[in-house]
Amino acid sequence: MSKEYYFISDLHLGAGEFKKTCAFENELIHFLQIISKKKDAELIIVGDMFGFWELNRNVEEDKLNYIINVHKNLFEQFKRTGKNIKITVISGNHDYELAYNIQYQKILKKYNIEVCKDQHMIKKINGKKIWIEHGHQQDEYNKISEWGDDKIKPFSYYLTKELMYDLHQKKNNKKDWVLDIQSVQPREWIPNWFFSNYFYNELNPILRYVALPFLLFFSFSFLVLLAGYLKKFNLITIPFLTEHFSTKFGLVGNALDIIIFVDTLVIIVLLIILLPILLIYLDSKRKFRNLGFSAENLKQVKKEKYLAYAKEVFEKNKNVKIFIFGHIHTAFMKKIGNNLVVNTGTWIKKLKRIKPLKLFILPSVYYPHYKLTIMHIYAEKNKIIVSHKHIDKHIKPPFTWLQKFAIFFVPYRRKKQENQLSIDL
């Protein structure tokens, strides 16, 4: 029984095989070097260590050896670290083969990585139990109906396999944003993410830049239209908004007058034709949000589903004090009575949705970043401590100037998260 445990998950090694790179390889090697100095510790990889689903069909038959050969330095470090501390991996949905493929288990053993073949495993600390599983068995789209059967594949396997294959075939070297689809969370954001990249990256530049001034001044044009009606009914006069800009700014003013005129016509048409549709849309959006069908609410519903399952585990197993899972790529810690539910996050790229100021009618921008999550569990006096650590890996987004402009005025807000929680023994 180890005195302390380190948990990471959802590395999806091999998912970047189209570039034969691992963006966080240096950080992972450094982490392995640090924990290898511990005297009585264990590293547990909570599923999806490998991204077998995402691999190109050309390496279907020898996926594990392919990934190891691409990341030789990383696996040599696994071997060195595994000489000093125990390393255990449990299979997830993307690397389910680990649970039944004996050859894979033997290969990883050479690198001092033990494979847990069960759906979950139990670890002990100070006489209490930690329940560990990847979490995909509670997800209908990713659930393995007959555990250990090498012929069983969940629905998401076929979707991911075909989708990633098509994206690999159709992407071009300059614009491979389509391959970031795995980083879009929650999945309900995919249509918005796709439209955002279409507008900023794929839309014909002539169309984009012809439409741009009308989009940027759309809100301002609405104010001009409103000011005109206020003046017409003798309610209030706002000189700056009711005068022709051509009289003050010459040619620039003429262009601005044309833009405002076109925007005003569009606004009037929208008000006449689309106002009833808009009212129905807003009302339905509100109703669906109340029922839990918005992207954020669906994300919360998924989280609540795992919390409910964790409660069942706690009730049926009184000595289990901590429930740990991965899969949803959203690190969190939540205390339920004197029990803890912990998600181990992910090490792959994440996309943060940033909405431009409402002044500009522009699509959201999806900002790439890495939040490499490490959960550390150890005993201290009469308590078990769970510490949430993460490594922020900053990258330079390959944004166009328009994407940079769209988010330039938007302040970056970081969500507050618990860094440490404890339970009493």
Q: State the pLDDT at residue 415.
A: 63
| pLDDT interval class at 151 (50, 70, 90) | confident
More confident residue, 227 or 9: 9
| pLDDT interval class at 120 (50, 70, 90) | very high
pLDDT, mean over the chain: 81
Residue 170 has pLDDT above 60, yes or no: no
Q: Percent of the chain beyond pLDDT 90?
A: 37
Q: State the pLDDT at residue 392.
A: 80
| Structure tokens belonging to residue 207 | 């169309």
Cα dihedral across residues 7, 10, 15, 16: positive or negative: negative
Residue 119 has pLDDT above 80, yes or no: yes
Q: State the pLDDT at residue 411.
A: 78
Lowest mean pLDDT among 61-70, 187-196, 299-308, 312-321: 299-308
Hey, which of 57-61, 83-87, 219-223, 228-232 has the most confident mean pLDDT?
83-87
Q: How far is CA 112 from the centre of its chain?
A: 30
More confident residue, 141 or 173: 141
Residue 140 has pLDDT above 70, yes or no: yes
What pTM did the predictor assign?
0.81
Q: State the pLDDT at residue 294.
A: 52
Burial class (CB in 10 A: 0-12, 13-18, 19+), 381: exposed
Q: State the pLDDT at residue 11.
A: 94
More confident residue, 145 or 425: 145
| pLDDT interval class at 203 (50, 70, 90) | confident
More confident residue, 117 or 267: 117
pLDDT, tens digit, for every residue of 335-354? 998 899 999 999 998 898 89
Show the domains of the chain with their CATH numbers. 4-201+299-424 (3.60.21.10), 205-290 (no CATH)
Residue 105 has pLDDT above 70, yes or no: yes
| pLDDT interval class at 164 (50, 70, 90) | low
Query: Mean pLDDT, to the nearest integer, of 61-88?
Result: 92
Query: Mean pLDDT, to the nearest integer, of 152-163?
Result: 76
pLDDT, tens digit, for every residue of 268-308? 776 666 667 667 766 666 655 555 445 554 555 577 889 99
| pLDDT interval class at 168 (50, 70, 90) | low
Query: What separation in angstroms does the CA of 202 have from each of 82, 195, 378?
Result: 47, 10, 50
